[in-house]
Amino acid sequence: MFLARFSYDVLPVNRERAINFILREVKAARGRGLNARMLVPLTRGVGAAALQFELELAQLDQLDQFRGRGVGTSEETGHWMHAFSEILTSPPLVEILRVDETP
């Protein structure tokens, strides 16, 4: 299994809007049968992300499929990404992690 984690930096004034964008992404992922969640750091270091989105993947190609049509059609996803990017203070940090399931 893999985890894709997207870390987002936003200004405090845009926090609620960012939460709404991420929750839409979570809902869309779950609607496609994927396990997804929003992570809200309770503590964070200087320069760390304000909010995160995490997506569980059985195969890495699921990430490309979801990012291309994650929140509806390709066009709707493009509009969502553009609107969300307007409130980000920097591009999202994307981490892809492999879950070690060794007993």
Provide the residue range defining the domain that includes 44: 2-97
Asked if residue 103 belongs to a domain, the reply is no
Domain CATH number, residue 25 = 3.30.70.100
Q: How many domains does the chain have?
A: 1
pTM for the whole thing?
0.85
Asked if residue 38 belongs to a domain, the reply is yes
Q: Which residue has the tokens 């709707």?
A: 76
Asked if residue 37 belongs to a domain, the reply is yes
Asked if residue 102 belongs to a domain, the reply is no
Contact (Cβ atoms closer than 8 angstroms) between residue 23 and residue 89: no
Write the CA distances from 22 to 61, 77, 80, integer angstroms: 21, 12, 10
pLDDT tens-digit readout, 13-55: 999 999 999 999 999 899 889 999 999 988 877 777 789 999 9
Asked if residue 42 belongs to a domain, the reply is yes
pLDDT tens-digit readout, 59-82: 998 888 887 666 667 787 778 888
